[in-house]
Every structure is written in C-alpha cells, then in structure tokens.
Amino acid sequence: MIKEKFSEGDSLFHRLDPRVKIIVALFFSVIVAVSDKYTSLWGALFLAVAAVIVARLRTKEVISRLLVVNSFIFLLWLMLPFTFQGERVYTLGSLGICQEGIKYALLITIKSNSIILVGIALLSTSSIFNLVHALRHLHLPDKLVQLFFFTYRYIHTIHSEYIRLNNALKIRGFKPQTNLHTYKTYAYLVAMMLVRSYDRSKRVYNAMLCRGFKGKFWTLNHFVSKKADFAAGIVMISCIMGLVLLP
C-alpha cells in the first residue's frame, strides 16, 4: 500500500478545505514561476518554509522529498554556470564559470524549492481522494479528474501486484545475484506485473460498468466551506500578493 504519510497529521492545513488549498497553491506556483525579483523569491521561500512548519510535518521526511527534487536541480548546477555567455568569474581550464549562469541556477533552485514546499504543506496534507473530490468541485473537466484518480488507483494496483509476485519469489528461496537466472526472473516479474495489473484494471472497470458507471463520478460527501476556510484563503492570497509588491 502506498502511504500518504503527510495527509495523516493534524494541523491548521490538514483541517483546511482542500479547494482553498488547491487554489492557493496554484496561485503561489504561478506567481513564483513568473517572478524574477530576488526579494520576492526569497520571500516566497520564507513563506513556503513557514507553511511547512505550520503544517507540522516530520522534518526528516520533508527533507528526503526535497533531496529527490534537488538531485535534478544539481544537474542544472553542473551545466548552467558553464554554458551561459557573459562575465567570467572563474576559469577552470578551458571552461569559464559565468556569473549569469550562477544567478540563473540559483533562481531555478529557489523557485522550485518554494513551489515544492508549498505543495507539500498545502496539497499533500489532504488525502488523494479529497483532492480528487476538490478538483471535481472546482469544476475541472471530468476526464482530467478521472485521469488523476485512476493514475493513483492503478499505481496502487501495480504496487500491490509487485508485492504479491515478490512474495511468491521470496517463499521459494529466490536470492537476487548477478547471473542470468536473476535477470530472467526479474524480467518475468516486470512482465507479469504489467500483464496482471492490466487484467485487474480491466476487471475493476467491468465491475464499475456492472454498477451502472457511465463515465461520470458522483460524489457522496460534499465539502462545506466554513468562514474560517474562506478567511484563511484570503490571508494566504494576500501574503502572496505582498510578495509581488516587495521592493
């Protein structure tokens, strides 16, 4: 089972209406993505860190997720400083490190980290299913919402098929080694996993058809927006607007 670790806590953000959270996170991401003022961006990073602290998540797990994102950004740091044209600050053999490049890489680093942090603080504090419902309530096209829902649902299915197959290997004493037998077994495992998940997804779809599914999901639980949700939304949006106005 894929755990949604962050959604299990209890904090201001966990209790907030997911629709408000989606709107705020979207607004924040757009503002951060288009802005190129350093003061605004440092401010954004500050807000993002503050949001994570308010969400009371485990620091260790937040950092481990950031590491994944930053491993990609690290590649940019390897490339960008060398490939920009402009004033050289340092020469390394025949390669020149360019100030523009460093600035650009720094910009991307701040932007992506703040967006990810806000995503963690706002979005991952809701369960996937609440997010799906929220998107539906925000009148996103049904097809997109279903795509999102089924992607999640079938990642889960594939994962559980993997665990079953892996257990089947284990109980018959399989130990991975560097030999053809191991490679062959893993190839079978992957192939079998895909075939079986595909079959299962077909059977689940059939079961849905049998219960009158015609391509539209109807929600059982409706969200009720409280005044507090609305107020929190306004406060957060104003903070983000404030970023833009920073000198």
34 binds other proteins, rule: CB under 8 A? no
**Amino acid identity of 122?**
L
Q: Are 185 and 142 in contact (CB under 8 A)?
A: no
Identity of the residue, 4 or 100, whose beta carbon is nearer to other proteins in the bound complex: 4
Binder of other proteins out of 93, 173, 212, 247 (CB under 8 A): 212
Binder of other proteins out of 214, 224, 227, 238 (CB under 8 A): 214
Stretch that binds other proteins, among 11-19, 175-183, 205-213, 235-243 (CB under 8 A): 205-213
8-state DSSP, 92: E
Beta bridge partners of 92: 95
Identity of the residue, 6 or 28, whose beta carbon is nearer to other proteins in the bound complex: 6
Determine the distance from the C-alpha atom of residue 156 to the mean position of all C-alpha atoms in its chain, rounded to a whole number: 16
The contact pattern for other proteins, residues 135-164, with x = CB under 8 A and - = no contact, is ------------------x--x--------
Which residues within the stretch 108-127 sit at the binding site for other proteins (CB under 8 A)? 127
Q: Are 166 and 189 in contact (CB under 8 A)?
A: yes
> Measured from the CB of residue 196, what is the shortest distance to other proteins in angstroms?
12
Stretch that binds other proteins, among 44-52, 96-104, 196-204, 235-243 (CB under 8 A): 196-204
Q: In a 10 Å sphere around its CB, with 0-12 CB exposed, 13-18 middle and 19+ buried, how is residue 106 labelled?
A: middle
Binder of other proteins out of 204, 237, 239, 246 (CB under 8 A): 204
Stretch that binds other proteins, among 7-15, 16-24, 174-182, 209-217 (CB under 8 A): 209-217
> Measured from the CB of residue 7, what is the shortest distance to other proteins in angstroms?
11
129 binds other proteins, rule: CB under 8 A? yes
218 binds other proteins, rule: CB under 8 A? yes
Residue closest to 129 by CA, chosen among 226, 12, 20, 223: 223
Q: Are 30 and 143 in contact (CB under 8 A)?
A: no
Q: What is the DSSP string of 51-73?
A: HHHHTT--HHHHHHHHHHHHHHH
Tell me the number of residues near other proteins by CB under 8 A: 22
Distance from the first to the final alpha carbon of the chain? 48
Q: How far apart, in whole angstroms, are the C-alpha atoms of residue 121 and residue 59?
A: 12
Residue in this structure with the two tokens 């940019």, named with its chain if needed: 76
Q: How far apart, in whole angstroms, are the C-alpha atoms of residue 56 and residue 70?
A: 22
Identity of the residue, 83 or 219, whose beta carbon is nearer to other proteins in the bound complex: 219
209 binds other proteins, rule: CB under 8 A? yes
Binder of other proteins out of 180, 210, 224, 245 (CB under 8 A): 210
Footprint of other proteins (CB under 8 A):
1, 127, 129, 153, 156, 200, 203-204, 206-214, 218-222
